[in-house]
Structure 1
């Protein structure tokens, strides 16, 4: 993964901390129903890979959102901390967790076919439908 050397973020109450050793410098938006229900709008996130350290784990709650993924949140303040693919331990982390970063590029959107008509982003991005996402990334059942 190209990108920053590391990113360090914390929840609102600072009871939890997430350190990503090899995140990308790309931000993506997920428009799936679960992400929009989870955060009230699209999830703007950074792929942080598998080298992630969590601090304050006693304050982290987990929600098993599907057979292949779980979502982590701070049990104290409710901050969304990550979406984690269980099989490969890959962390997708809300971009806002790391504060303002002008060095990141918003370059892709997934589940574009699930995006409601009441908002649009002006950026030119790579767009994938839900079917395209599952065809590319879904576990194969091996």
Structure 2
């Protein structure tokens, strides 16, 4: 178990999680797909092990009879999923994408795999671009920078 830090896209909500497990989970249910914009990748921690700053930017929405989801009301980033009834009360599943370092995490469990479609497969031969290659695609041309022609 380790400690992890993270934040939403705009930085209004920051978090520090203690006793973080080395595995994360994926959920393909319809609610998670809509909330996360795709499969939800979450890392479960006890609420007592999660310190959140920027609480004024956190909005929680009750999304079922037994759970709620939180998002940043400034930038819209999904933050966590929290069970409110039943045996898993007391923890939050933090969105893996919020974390500053995920290099030591591995996939543990996939939920609702009967709802998983081919859209979530990574086919062989797909085009893959590095960070430098993506940045080059969006680099301004000399004319856009105001350079003389």
CA gap 1:58/1:44 in 2 versus in 1, 3 angstroms: same
Q: Which runs of 5+ in 2 are unaligned?
A: 124-149
Give distance in 2, aligned partners of 1:55 and 1:67.
Answer: 27
Aligned to 2:9: 12
Aligned to 1:113: 114
Poorly superposed stretches of 4+, deviation over 6 Å: none
Q: TM-score, normalising length from structure 2?
A: 0.73
Give distance in 1, aligned partners of 2:121 and 2:8.
Answer: 27
Q: Which runs of 5+ in 1 are unaligned?
A: 123-142
C-alpha offsets along residues 50-101 of structure 1, whole Å, 9 cap, x if unaligned? 3212111111011101121111111000011100112423100111100342
**Aligned residues, how many?**
119
CA contact (8 A) 2:7 2:13 kept: yes
Offset at residue 121 of structure 1 (A): 5.9
Larger radius of gyration: 2
C-alpha offsets along residues 19-57 of structure 1, whole Å, 9 cap, x if unaligned? 211221102110000011112210111112232121111
SS of residue matched to 2:16: strand
Q: TM-score, normalising length from structure 1?
A: 0.77
Q: How does 1:1-142 map to 2 (within 5 A)?
A: 3-4=1-2, 6-50=3-47, 51-87=49-85, 88-120=89-121
SS of residue matched to 2:34: helix
Query: For the aligned residues, what is the CA RMSD?
Result: 1.6
